[in-house]
Structure 1
Amino acid sequence: MIINGKEGSFETGITIKELLMKLELNEKIVVIEINHKIVPKKQYSSFVLNEGDKVEIVSFMAGG
């Protein structure tokens, strides 16, 4: 699986929510795109990732 352009060594069959927990990312402040399609937050706990998926994780930061 490729995460933000880098090869990631995570087991297949995990959900987006599980991936975010492993990466220590807060699901409330990220947007996930899988294979060029944005996944709604309500699907994070049921959307299963597969080998070869291209995952883009965009996080929002406060700032000025």
Structure 2
Amino acid sequence: MDVTLNGDACTIEQETTIEKLISNLAVEGKFAIEINQQIIPRSKYAETVIHLDDNIEIVQAIGGG
């Protein structure tokens, strides 16, 4: 199934949840997930299924000063 991930075309399995996606991508640290310009609460990662043509953004916090 085709989606957009951080601005790039990406193919994932159907019925993929956010939880499965971040596990497959080995995302670590502090981050936020946005699907179609809606921030998804961490408590919803396991139940939020990604759909065809969704636009997914993974934004990681970077410290600095």
TM-score by length of 2: 0.87
Q: Which residue of 2 aligns with 1:54?
A: 55
Q: Kindly tell me the number of residue pairs found equivalent between the two proteins.
A: 63
Where has structure 1 moved over 4 Å in runs of 4 or more?
none
Percent identical across equivalent pairs?
33
Q: Which runs of 5+ in 2 are unaligned?
A: none
Q: Which residue of 1 aligns with 2:20?
A: 18
1:2-61 Cα distance to aligned partner (Å, 9 max, x none) = 0011001111211001000111103x5110000010000100111000111000110112
Which protein has the bigger strand share? 2
CA distance in 2 between counterparts of 1:40 and 1:14 reads 17
Which amino acid in the other structure matches residue 4 of structure 1? N
- 1:48 is paired with a residue of what secondary structure? coil
- 2:49 is paired with a residue of what secondary structure? coil
TM-score by length of 1: 0.89
